Amino acid sequence: MRKRLSNQQQGFSLLEGLVAVAIIMIVMGMAMLNFGTVLPNYKANSAMDQLLYQMRSARERAIAHRIEVQVQFVGTNQIKMTEIWTVGTPPAPVTVTFEGGAQFMTFASVPDTPMAFGNAGPICFAGGTTPPPIMKFTTNGSFIDGGNTLVNGTVFLGIPGGRPSTARAITILGATGRVRPYHYDGTAWQE
């Protein structure tokens, strides 16, 4: 025997369906607005991770293989590492281009990192606005310039046209070669 459904049990009304669609659209709109700030931060984090990995890798290669590894900042978004061998044929230099449009840059409203190595330019070593032409990690892991002087410095990254919250930085302590990452949260640098 079949039971008949009453009118109240036959489904959703048009008004209920429209309300459900409106709620879904509002939630999607909020997600899209949030996505506009998440994507630039993701790109900035990706570039900082690339730079951090390359710098730490260069230091580790210098120590492990007892060679010097020269670091050069090329253009607005590349880093080049060259192993300096005294005997034999060294491998080809490694050049890395940052993904996602990140570049070496500073934001006027963003202060220096807590290490206070300076922010006169996007690549600030030894207090200068341009990096020394030769910088390298030594066999003991320290970071020096072409005159064998220990250099401390900061490399600033960001997304052009982006918010200051896309500011990223790494600092290098010359005596130990220690590389530390920082991100700007809109009010202060966080490690």
CATH number at residue 151: 3.55.40.10
With respect to residue 6, please indicate whether it lies within any of the assigned structural domains. Answer: no
With respect to residue 3, please indicate whether it lies within any of the assigned structural domains. Answer: no
With respect to residue 5, please indicate whether it lies within any of the assigned structural domains. Answer: no
Q: Which domain holds residue 71?
A: 11-190
Q: Are 99 and 47 in contact, with CB atoms under 8 Å apart?
A: yes
DSSP-based three-state secondary structure for 89: coil
With respect to residue 4, please indicate whether it lies within any of the assigned structural domains. Answer: no
What does the pLDDT look like over 153-172, one tens digit per residue? 999 999 988 788 889 999 99
With respect to residue 117, please indicate whether it lies within any of the assigned structural domains. Answer: yes
Tokens representing 32 are 């899209």
* Half-sphere exposure at residue 64, Cβ-oriented, CA atoms within 13 angstroms: 7
With respect to residue 176, please indicate whether it lies within any of the assigned structural domains. Answer: yes
With respect to residue 159, please indicate whether it lies within any of the assigned structural domains. Answer: yes
Ranges under pLDDT 50 in the chain: none
DSSP secondary structure, 113-170, as one string? -TT----SSSEEETT-SS--S-EEE-TTS-EEETTS-B--EEEEEE-TTS-GGG-EEE
DSSP-based three-state secondary structure for 80: strand
With respect to residue 2, please indicate whether it lies within any of the assigned structural domains. Answer: no
Domain count of the chain?
Answer: 1
How many other C-beta atoms lie within 10 A of the C-beta of residue 160? 12
Q: Are 136 and 127 in contact, with CB atoms under 8 Å apart?
A: no
The per-residue pLDDT for 131 is 81
The per-residue pLDDT for 3 is 62
The per-residue pLDDT for 162 is 75
Look at the block and give the residue holding tokens 């320290």.
142
The pTM (predicted TM-score) of the whole model is 0.79
The per-residue pLDDT for 119 is 86
Any idea what the Cα angle at residue 83 is, between residues 86 and 92, rounded to 5°? Answer: 110
With CA atoms as reference, report the closest residue to 143 among 105, 117, 111: 117
